[in-house]
Structure 1
Amino acid sequence: MIKTFFTTTSLFLATTLIAQKNPVLNGNYADPEGIIYNDKYWIFPTYSAPYEEQLFFDAFSSSDLAHWEKHPRVLQNTQVKWAEKAMWAPAVLENNGKYYLFFSANDVHEGEIGGIGVAVADKPEGPYTDLLGKPLINDIINGAQPIDQFVFKDKDGTFYMYYGGWKHCNMVKLKPDFTGLLPFDDGTYYKEITPKDYVEGPFMFIKEGKYYFMWSEGGWTGPDYKVAYAIADSPFGPFERIGTILERDPEVAVGAGHHSVIKVPNKDKYFIVYHRRPLGKEGANERVTCIDEMKFDKKGRIQPVKMTFKGVKYPLK
């Protein structure tokens, strides 16, 4: 399920219309994971910089989608002894009163130490500490570089993680305390579920009983980065590619991808939180975080997202 449901009303008490503008965060941030914690919207992004400088995570919170409070360095490599460079792609969720931040580190290759780690905190803003003292997944299985993880809680309470770069995507079943993996019913630990044209950046949510699986295609350093999706009846797929829903717009930005989705509580309203490269910017790390509305047609298919500079308005209608 999308990790955004709660019962409070305080998030929606504003009476004046507030305009959010894209990008929503100051500075270069990418791979944003959006979520709702404790009556607030949160974004946990990658600090977009050269690998040797990309050694920490900042978080941002907001009550109105327009004014964002920065929570600096909620996790940094001084708390993760095995992470020497390139910490990126946070995936976050709350479970049993604890807050978890999964991350990629070291741009690992065969025979190297790195991959997917997990950190834990008592508050959304941290500080987070390394849960395991080692990677949760280090090895390259089914050709998938262990990066770009997304943790998904299914309807029955089971936690799955989808991950993978190098055009391969695996899913695994997580222990409820996130200290390791559990076997699937057939005794295996890794299942490859790679859809057509998949590159990286998986994301999953449920809408009206259907499993929407999304991913990024193309190269993250180039202008043609984009997001596609599939719909299935099971978290295991099969995930047959339906189409592209987010891509370059010559009037707005290029390199749009590596996203997450937020569902507004008690409303049939969805936002896509993503990064893009502003026009005129060509540096690999010149990426900014934006939010736009994501809509569906009558058949439940995702309509192409129109990237904007104005973003969304608050209160939400």
Structure 2
Amino acid sequence: MGNGFARLMTLGLLATIAAVPVSAQQLPGKAPGSNPIIRDKFTADPAPLVVGDTLYLYTGHDVAQRDEMFNMQEWLVYSTKDMKTWTDHGAIMNVKDFKWAKKDAWASQAIEKNGKFWFYAAVEHDATHPGKAIAVAVSDKPTGPFVDAKGSALITNEMTPKGTHSWEDIDPTVFTDDDGTTYIAWGNRQAYIAKLKPNMIEIDGEITEITPPHFEEGPWIHKRGNMYYLTYASLDRTTQRDEHVSYATAPSINGPWTYRGLLTDAGKYSFTIHPGIVEFKKNWYLFLHNATLAVGDQSGAIGRRAVTVEHLYYNPDGTMKPVVQTVEGVSVPPKP
């Protein structure tokens, strides 16, 4: 979910103490489309979905107080038709809506298929299957209401027994290939991928590990032309303190994956980061989060992040151009 949970166990509150964020009112470049794009509450782990002429943005909502790291119990959705004016549709689900889950509304992604909208999200399972798990919900509309589609977890910790820790099964990304097959990828420290059955609530076949270099969490799969992209929160533990975004490409969803290096640096004041990539009205966008926002007397911190978006461009060979994170964001027009 962009939580970087393993590193946080050692970092503790250092990032909270070190952060000296600027309030929303003081941020320069307040033109519509400037960053952060949501300024009245703390949002994280952005997941865009295009439906017709509208882009829907699913986020986590953190209400962490003072020195809390995270306090995330619900998911929100926003929409836009122009990337500058956002409509708040409120909470689409609470973690309590999954009766088998006990807490932590972490990173999510929604996808449209067969006339319905499927929502995949990371939560903490109850004592029957200890550890993080991935839930699936369904709705007739992108704005919900969403309901538990399975009545149990889609993925639990014991389904990935080779993993090194109990919170590896987080941060789902879902992708439907040209043949109609939908895949789900996820992970923390280890990255996994599997097919989904046509019913969208069961794994079809084996779970495969595809961990790329410096993979930390937050995978995102998309396709452009004939190239597949696996973008993710990365951390070179020998040289970096905060998560960056790296990516790999492949000629097939089954690989082989070629590491392409960094796409963008860390989000300002934020240890974590989470990419979301989408094409909307013939332009490409990279959604991220940082911790520059203040709401009331609460400054940005590990658990109080803010969603941002930048223009995304590609080289002639299909690789993505490095992205510089800005306050201006998409308030400035895309380059020709």
For normalisation by structure 2, the TM-score amounts to 0.79
More helix by share: 2
Coordinate RMSD, CA, aligned: 2.6
Question: Is 255-264 or 21-30 further displaced after alignment?
Answer: 255-264
Matches within 5 A, 1:101-180: 101-106=119-124, 111-112=129-130, 114-140=132-158, 141=160, 142-143=162-163, 145-165=168-188, 167-180=189-202
Alignment match of 1:248 (pick from 263, 266, 289): 266
Long gaps (5+) in structure 2: 1-30
- Aligned partners of 1:170, 1:157: CA distance in 2, in Å? 20
- Aligned partners of 2:126, 2:287: CA distance in 1, in Å? 26
Matches within 5 A, 1:90-101: 90-101=108-119
1:145-171 CA distances to partner (integer Å, 9 max, x unpaired)?
A: 211010110111111111111x10111
The offset of 1:311, in angstroms, is 1.4
1:235-254 CA distances to partner (integer Å, 9 max, x unpaired)?
A: 122223211011137xx655
Instruction: Letter of the 1:24 partner, please give it.
Output: I
Question: Does 2:228 match 1:206?
Answer: no
Question: Does 2:37 match 1:24?
Answer: yes
Q: Is the 8 A contact 2:72 2:104 kept in 1?
A: yes
The offset of 1:232, in angstroms, is 0.9
SS at match of 1:156: coil
Instruction: Letter of the 1:172 partner, please give it.
Output: A
Which residue of structure 1 lines up, in the alignment, with residue 10 of structure 2?
A: none
The offset of 1:310, in angstroms, is 1.4
Alignment CA distance shift 1:135-1:20 (3 Å): same
The offset of 1:113, in angstroms, is 5.9
1:176-231 CA distances to partner (integer Å, 9 max, x unpaired)?
A: 12121112xxxxx1111111111111111112201111111139xx9621110111
Question: Does 2:308 match 1:285?
Answer: no
Which residue of structure 2 lines up, in the alignment, with residue 11 of structure 1?
A: none
Question: Does 2:250 match 1:227?
Answer: no
- How many residue pairs get matched? 288
- Aligned partners of 1:135, 1:107: CA distance in 2, in Å? 8
Instruction: Letter of the 1:21 partner, please give it.
Output: S
Q: Is the 8 A contact 1:173 1:182 kept in 2?
A: yes
Instruction: Letter of the 2:306 partner, please give it.
Output: V
Matches within 5 A, 1:260-299: 260-265=276-281, 267=282, 269-278=283-292, 283-299=301-317
SS at match of 1:202: strand
Q: Is the 8 A contact 1:223 1:248 kept in 2?
A: no
Instruction: Letter of the 1:31 partner, please give it.
Output: D
Which residue of structure 2 lines up, in the alignment, with residue 13 of structure 1?
A: none
Which residue of structure 1 lines up, in the alignment, with residue 15 of structure 2?
A: none
The offset of 1:78, in angstroms, is 3.4
- Aligned partners of 2:38, 2:93: CA distance in 1, in Å? 18
Long gaps (5+) in structure 1: 1-17, 184-188
Which residue of structure 2 lines up, in the alignment, with residue 306 of structure 1?
A: 324
- Aligned partners of 1:263, 1:43: CA distance in 2, in Å? 13
The offset of 1:271, in angstroms, is 0.3
Work out which structure has the larger RCO, using CA pairs closer than 8 Å and 6 or more positions apart in sequence: 2
Alignment CA distance shift 1:245-1:202 (3 Å): same
Question: Is 27-36 or 134-143 further displaced after alignment?
Answer: 134-143
The offset of 1:301, in angstroms, is 1.4
SS at match of 2:96: helix
The offset of 1:110, in angstroms, is 10
Instruction: Letter of the 1:191 partner, please give it.
Output: T
The offset of 1:313, in angstroms, is 4.0
Alignment match of 1:85 (pick from 75, 100, 103): 103
Question: Is 98-107 or 44-53 further displaced after alignment?
Answer: 44-53
SS at match of 1:20: coil
- Aligned partners of 1:179, 1:264: CA distance in 2, in Å? 27
Alignment match of 1:70 (pick from 88, 101, 109): 88
Q: Is the 8 A contact 1:196 1:241 kept in 2?
A: yes
Which residue of structure 2 lines up, in the alignment, with residue 9 of structure 1?
A: none
Q: Is the 8 A contact 2:183 2:195 kept in 1?
A: yes
1:12-53 CA distances to partner (integer Å, 9 max, x unpaired)?
A: xxxxxx841110112211110011124211110111244884
Instruction: Letter of the 1:164 partner, please give it.
Output: G
